[in-house]
Chains A and B, each alone.
Chain A
Amino acid sequence: EAGVAQSPRYKIIEKRQSVAFWCNPISGHATLYWYQQILGQGPKLLIQFQNNGVVDDSQLPKDRFSAERLKGVDSTLKIQPAKLEDSAVYLCASSLGFPTDTQYFGPGTRLTVL
């Protein structure tokens, strides 16, 4: 069974530029999550989708971050414009659908903002 796929694996941009990350969840998983992990910390949830609807985006900086999950499968996370403090690893995870289901993570995208 294929795992969660993410691309790109690494991205370096300058501040004020825009960037987009892509995630393809495990087949059949209804719930998709985007996390931000700053070096030395645990992941922090940015947004949670159930199929193609948003369940929780309370910690998403909506002035610069946006995310969508068209057709309830793939998802993209965009940052525009990027700030230095956005440097982090962005992890995508998916689960079957219930809140207590195990989440399976992708390899992450390491973003460096210069």
Chain B
Amino acid sequence: AQTVTQSQPEMSVQEAETVTLSCTYDTSESDYYLFWYKQPPSRQMILVIRQEAYKQQNATENRFSVNFQKAAKSFSLKISDSQLGDAAMYFCAYTGANSKLTFGKGITLSVRP
């Protein structure tokens, strides 16, 4: 079975600084996709970024980028120029061609003004 591990329960970053959120996963599938979702206090899950495993290039979306290390099964999220609105829970998630979307336990990110 596929597993997603987010070992850091909480992180804090100063406004305008950069922070990296860690995620590792385990799978035997060769075709899969990885996601980072943001969940603010309103509880709505918002897609931050998506990475296809077959792509070597790391995905970027404005201030958000990933470091995808396929061999190490690592998928970290970097948030640059952190803003107060970035404060939320962040979930790493995995889905494969033959498996359902599996979430990690999440990490709470706080942003200090």
Contacts of B37 in A (CB 8 A): 105
Q: How large is the interface on B (under 10, 10 to 19, 20 to 34, 35 or more residues)?
A: 20 to 34
Instruction: Say whether A42 contacts B106, CB under 8 Å.
Output: yes
| Residues from 39 to 54 in B contacting A, C-beta threshold 8 Å | 42-47, 50
> How many A-B contacts are there with CB distance less than 8 Å?
53
Q: How far is the CB of A49 from chain B (nearest CB, A)?
A: 13
In the docked arrangement, what's the CA distance between A47 and B98, Å? 16
Decide: A56 near B44, CB < 8 A? Known: A41-B106, A99-B95, A100-B95. Answer: no
Q: How far is the CB of A57 from chain B (nearest CB, A)?
A: 11
Contacts of B55 in A (CB 8 A): none
Decide: A105 near B44, CB < 8 A? Known: A41-B106, A42-B104, A42-B106. Answer: yes
Instruction: Say whether B96 contacts A108, CB under 8 Å.
Output: no
Number of interface residues of A (CB under 8 A): 23
| Residues from 79 to 113 in B contacting A, C-beta threshold 8 Å | 91, 93, 95-101, 103-106
- Cβ-defined partner of B43 (8 Å) among A48, A99, A102, A110: A110
In the docked arrangement, what's the CA distance between A37 and B101, Å? 14
Instruction: Say whether B96 contacts A99, CB under 8 Å.
Output: yes
In the docked arrangement, what's the CA distance between A93 and B33, Å? 17
In the docked arrangement, what's the CA distance between A100 and B42, Å? 26
Is A25's CB within 8 Å of the partner chain B?
Answer: no
Q: Which residue of B lies closest to A108 (CB)?
A: B43
- Cβ-defined partner of A42 (8 Å) among B46, B99, B103: B103
What are 13 pairs between A and B in contact, CB < 8 Å?
A41-B105, A42-B91, A42-B93, A43-B103, A91-B43, A99-B97, A100-B32, A100-B33, A102-B35, A105-B44, A105-B45, A105-B46, A107-B42
Name A residues whose Cβ lies closer than 8 Å to a Cβ of B: 33, 37, 40-45, 48, 56, 89, 91, 93, 99-100, 102-108, 110
